[in-house]
Chains A and B, each alone.
Chain A
Amino acid sequence: MEAVAFAWLSAGIGLGITVFGVGTGIGRLAAAALEASSRQPENAGDIRTTMIIGAALIEGVALLAGVVCILLAVKQ
């Protein structure tokens, strides 16, 4: 295989791994937040806010990986 083929392959596989990790991460985060807010519904607002910040930070890492994958995919 030539270098460009490897780049495309790695972009695809890399994005797959990233999405797997981030999906797991945000899923666990949402599960924990849901559990917490069902135990203490009066704190649901605070928990949601904290969850969104956490989700944004996790997502940020994913997007960084996504940008790297895009850079690999547009390799000439």
Chain B
Amino acid sequence: MERILFYIIALSMIIFAIAAVSSRRMLRSVIYLLFVLVGIAGIFFLIDYNFLAAIQLTVYAGGIIILIIFSVLLVHHIELKLEMAKPFRQFLTAIVCLIGIGIILTTIYSHQFEVVENNISTTTAQIGSKLLSYDSGGFILPFEVISVVLLAAMIGGIVIAKGKKLNEKNDN
């Protein structure tokens, strides 16, 4: 059952990912990305990381996608068809990417992973206490640093987006 579910999710993720990078309509592309992100959340559910899945859904699907949609709506016509690279260039890039996939997959498949069979389910409390622990293996310092980074990003985002007009081109 889980196996079938995984295959369905994986297949749809790949399809939607390809659609997201090849659609010539901006808004559709963003929605396809949303599906990919939701699919990733589904994988998190499947491997029993519910908290992570929730974060994925709220932050990515809920936050980032909305942000991108806003920016799309601010700078684009919905019906605008986007430019793509030249066909030859696309072909070349595809070849490079396929070779890359080939290399990495052969490397992965030639490596023997020492998989530990387990059924441990992780609770949110465990994650929370680990995140705020200052014992060895605790993540309190990165956690605090991240909070500062987020604050800086927030301020930076406001300052940059507010920026003065440098030329009058966009008046008309």
Q: Do A and B bind each other?
A: no
